[in-house]
Structure 1
Amino acid sequence: MSTTTELPASTAAAPPRRTRRVLGWIVIILLVIGGALLIMRIGAATSVPFRGGGDPDGTGEHGMLALAEILRDQDVEVEVVRTRADAIAAIEDDTTLVMTDPYSLSDEAVLQLLEPAHRIVLLSASSRMLSLLELGESTSASTAAAVTASCDLAEFARVGEIHPGRLFIPADGVTGCYGDDDGNAALLVDETEVGERAMIDGTRLFGNGYLAQDGNAALGLALLGQTGHVVWYVPSFADSDLEAQTEPSLGELTPSWVTPAIVMLILAGVAAALWRGRRFGPLVAETLPVTVRASETMHGRARLTAKAADAGHAAEAIRDGTVRRLARRLGLHDRAGAGEVADAVADRLGIPRTSVQELLTGALPASDDQLIDHARNLSDLESAVDDAIRTERGTR
């Protein structure tokens, strides 16, 4: 007769199939990347180039599209250029070159740009351009009152009043218009044999949000509409001839051997991690939680206390147990202290409180012999309370 021995079922769970999970995450990542690329492409196709302040194509509050359209309505050809090469190529004998502060150009490039133009209008308050063209100096003076041309130039006679922005101090031989009583002027005009150069802070005068105020539109037309052709140059960093000066990097400041040494240390660390690193195996299922009997915990703590030879700690544990049991037997609340329990025991047994207080709240024993006596006294106290309670119940 043959018997078949059945092997016990393994408690280890089968290793999870990670292939589908990994493929799922790969698909999700690819979808996210594809969606981001699609959104970026759509945004790039539908985005409108930003036109800042002083731009003749700008539609914002500080853009100057309205002034450009007024000039076109007066049969003035307005040609917007964004590189100095295109600007130089577009300048003719009857051209007015208009631009804001050419912050992206060096002084040499600015002079090269201005050289072929016979009439130049600067719509900015750049101190550099004031000095470069020798028109005057900047001043902190300002005026909140409306001012008139107050100069002998006929083209501004019918403009009317304006509220200017920045004021300047005209240089010798430079005509100042729209000024205050101290000789400061909002408009500087320098007429020489080479040509005419004018400068005014046009940010608060010719912007789309300010052009309809006072005589701003008339002043803009008088400045820019003197010729039939306007070349409006818009500076940008894309058209800069300035070389960027950056601080030296950390790699440039350190010796040449530092980088190879760091790379070697990183490789050594990775090799050490692969060599001595802990390798985890497959996960093993385990039934949790593990139940530990109270008696095992008690015996374990007792062995630790005995091994440490800590009589005081053992006596404290025994006394705490006695206090809790006495409180329960005497009908006290769970949070009753040792002092309350001692008073209740003294009242029940009719013995002096000091002796019970000394036993339940006094000093702890310091030796094993004292611990044995202390434990015996606590046991006798519990027995006395039990006898007293049983006697009271029997007499009722």
Structure 2
Amino acid sequence: MTHAIEQIYAPSTAVRRPPRWRTVIGWLIVAALVIGVAFIAMRVSASAPGRHGGLDPEGRNDAGALALAEILRDQGVDVTVSRSRAEARAAIDEDTTLVMANPYTLSDEGLTALMEPADRVVFLSTGSRLLSLLRIGQDAPGTSPAVAAECPLPEFARVGAIRPDRLFTPADGVSACFGGSTGAAVLVDDRRDGRHVVVEGSKLFSNAYLAEDGNAALALALLGQTDHVVWYVPTFEDSDIEGQSEDTLGSLTPDWLTPVILLLLLAGVAAAIWRGQRFGPLVSETLPVTVRASETMHGRARLTAKAADSAHAAEALRDGSQRRLARRLGLAAHAGADEVADAASDRLRIPRGTLQTLLAGPLPTDDAALIELARRLGELETAVETTNHTTRSDG
């Protein structure tokens, strides 16, 4: 009897559950936060990559060329930055130097039309297609240590030694500077009415390396010969490769399908919250060891950086971009580089070979090439995502 009375008056050890309405409000707040974070992440991912890439005159990162643009302005040179080929062509006058990185987003006709009014054109980086179009030379094997100009052109007389990123074999009648018998780093073509200069300066003229050796002096010798510089920045958005868009899944989807899908998702979340209350509060269970995914990711990144394994890092970047592009292009998750390149080529009207080289070409061997690869992959993802938004808006 005494034991029964003690049990009646003993304090209850049961955990009082909060009222249902508080739980529902808490889940709604969590859902709102998740949707807000997802929206911000989508906006950032759609605009951040490729905003200021390699040798961008407004880029402040190591691969940008803001330092070079500011040096030119300090020397009294008027620098006009243009991301539109039409605006760049209109800004060219008699005393103007047209400068750009490798215009891989322009067709041969578009590049020729852009260069036509300019008497002096400087390419700060180049590719095999550009060398063939200009008929200025071709790639030369091997590398070169620090080398001086050793050519009769007067603007290079006071430039010190540089360490070339890449060597070229000049064509007949083309002046070769900063090199030797194996090749030269700078090619100057005076065979036409105007002057065309080609140099691989992705590393020479970047913010990180401009102060080394004679890099800054070479940049001033190339770009400081006129009072006005028009700096064109090639982008996928300004590509002149046009064509009729084919029907896609987004254009064929009826307008009412998206609201219905969102309504079904909200109904599923509400049902999960409603049914989840029947199982009671969660019980934590102690496991033998816990390793966070972020720790594993940072650990592998530190090992790759310590080993200076640019090729391994490039493979990881390509693999991630390939999977994301496959998802955005409506392909299978395990789609290969050729399938992704074909789909992106059809979507963006870009030559298939350019995208195959980007997704499955030779791996970079140094940090500068790795940064350039990451920038171009980011621009490709941004262009594909932009076409997705445009297609949905048109649909």
TM-score grouping bracket, smaller chain normalisation: 0.5 to 0.7
Paired position in structure 2 for 1:161? 161
Residue aligning to 1:27: 28
Structure 1 position 114, deviation (Å): 0.8
Residues 151-300 of structure 1: pairs in structure 2 closer than 5 A: 151-182=151-182, 184-243=183-242
Deviations 1:256-282 (A, max 9, x none): xxxxxxxxxxxxxxxxxxxxxxxxxxx
Q: Using the alignment, how far apart are the partners of 1:32 and 1:189 within structure 2?
A: 58
User: CA offset at residue 149 of structure 1?
Assistant: 0.7
* Aligned CA distance change for structure 1 residues 156 and 239 (closer, same or farther; 3 Å): same
| 1:113 equivalent in alignment to 2:114 | yes
Task: Give SS of 1:105's match.
Answer: coil
| CA displacement, residues 199-248 of structure 1 (integer Å, 9 cap, x when unaligned) | 00111211111111111111100000000000000011111122589999
Partner of 2:104: 103
TM-superposed deviation, 1:34: 5.8
Cα–Cα, structure 1 residues 35 and 85, in superposed 2: closer, same or farther, change >3 Å? same
The alignment partner of 1:210 has SS state of: coil
Cα deviation, residue 84, structure 1: 0.5
CA distance in 2, matches of 1:193, 1:148: 26
Letter in 2 for 1:220: A
Partners of 1:187 and 1:41 lie apart in 2 by 42
Amino acid in structure 2 at the alignment position of 1:217: A
Partner of 2:147: 147
Q: 1:210 and 1:19, CA in 2 relative to 1: closer, same or farther beyond 3 A?
A: closer
The secondary structure found in structure 2 opposite 1:148 is: coil
Cα-to-partner distance string for 1:332-368 (whole Å, 9 max, x where unaligned): xxxxxxxxxxxxxxxxxxxxxxxxxxxxxxxxxxxxx
Which residue in 2 is equivalent to 1:65? Answer: 66
CA gap of 1:39–1:126, structure 2 versus 1, over 3 A, is closer
Change (3 A) 1:28 1:238: same
Cα RMSD of the aligned pairs, angstroms, is 3.7
In structure 1, runs of 5+ residues without a counterpart are 1-17, 252-282, 284-396
Q: Which amino acid aligns with 1:63?
A: G
Structure 1 residue identity aligned to 2:212: Q
Distance (whole Å) between structure 2 residues aligned to residue 224 and residue 201 of structure 1: 14
Point out the structure with max Rg over C-alpha: 1
- Partners of 1:247 and 1:138 in 2: CA distance: 38
CA distance in 2, matches of 1:49, 1:141: 30
Instruction: Using the TM superposition, give the Cα deviation of residue 32 of structure 1 relative to its aligned residue in structure 2, in angstroms.
Output: 3.0
Residues 1:250 and 1:86: Cα distance change in structure 2 (over 3 Å):
closer
1:129-163 alpha-carbon deviations (Å, 9 max, x no partner):
111011001122211x2111111100101112111
Instruction: Summarize deviations over 1:25-78 as a string: whole Å, max 9, x none.
Output: 77346533564378569969x979831111011112221111111110110000
2-side partners of 1:133 and 1:48: how far apart? Answer: 31
In the TM superposition, residue 88 of structure 1 has moved relative to its aligned partner by 0.7
- Maintained 8 Å contact 1:177/1:185: yes
In structure 2, what is the Cα distance between the partners aligned to 1:41 and 1:139?
Answer: 43
The secondary structure found in structure 2 opposite 1:54 is coil
Give me the whole-angstrom Cα distance separating, in 2, the residues matched to 1:226 and 1:205.
19
Q: Tell me the distance in 2 between the aligned counterparts of 1:33 and 1:181.
A: 62
Letter in 1 for 2:162: I
Say whether the 8 Å CA contact 2:173–2:191 is kept in structure 1: no
The percentage of counterpart residues that share the same residue type is: 53
Equivalent-residue separation in structure 2 for 1:193 and 1:105 (angstroms): 22
Structure 1 length as normaliser, TM-score? 0.53
Could you say which residue in structure 1 is the equivalent of 2:82? 81
For residues 195 and 63 of structure 1, what CA distance do their matches in structure 2 show?
28
Answer whether contact 2:174 2:191 (CA < 8 A) is retained.
Answer: no
Q: What is the CA–CA distance in structure 1 between the aligned matches of 2:228 and 2:53, rounded to whole Å?
A: 23
Query: In structure 2, how many angstroms separate the alpha carbons of the residues matched to 1:249 and 1:31?
Result: 32
Q: Is the 8 A contact 1:51 1:58 kept in 2?
A: yes
Cα distance change of structure 1 residues 70 and 134 upon mapping to structure 2, 3 Å threshold:
same
Q: Hey, what does 1:6 align to over in structure 2?
A: none
Residue 97 of structure 1 aligns to a residue whose secondary structure is strand
- Flag the 1:34–1:79 CA change in 2: closer, same or farther, 3 A: same
CA distance in 1, matches of 2:228, 2:158: 22
Runs of 4+ more than 6 Å apart: 41-44, 46-49, 244-251
Would you say the 8 A contact 1:125–1:166 is kept in 2? Answer: no
Q: Deviation of residue 179 (structure 1)?
A: 1.1
CA deviation vs aligned residue, 1:96-117 (integer Å, no higher than 9, x gap): 0000011111111111111111
Label 1:220 to 1:245 Cα distance change in 2 as closer, same or farther (>3 A): farther
Q: Determine helix, strand or coil for the equivalent of 1:173.
A: coil
| Partner of residue 56, structure 2 | 55
Partner of 1:325: none
**Amino acid across the alignment from 2:70:** E
- AA in 2 matched with 1:150: E
Separation in structure 2 between the aligned mates of residue 42 and residue 241 of structure 1, nearest angstrom: 26
How far apart in 2 are the matches of 1:245 and 1:100?
28
- Closer/same/farther in 2, CA of residues 244 and 76 from structure 1, 3 Å limit: same
Q: Partner amino acid for 2:204? A: L
From the superposition, tell whether residues 24 and 200 of structure 1 become closer, same or farther in structure 2 (CA, over 3 Å). Answer: same
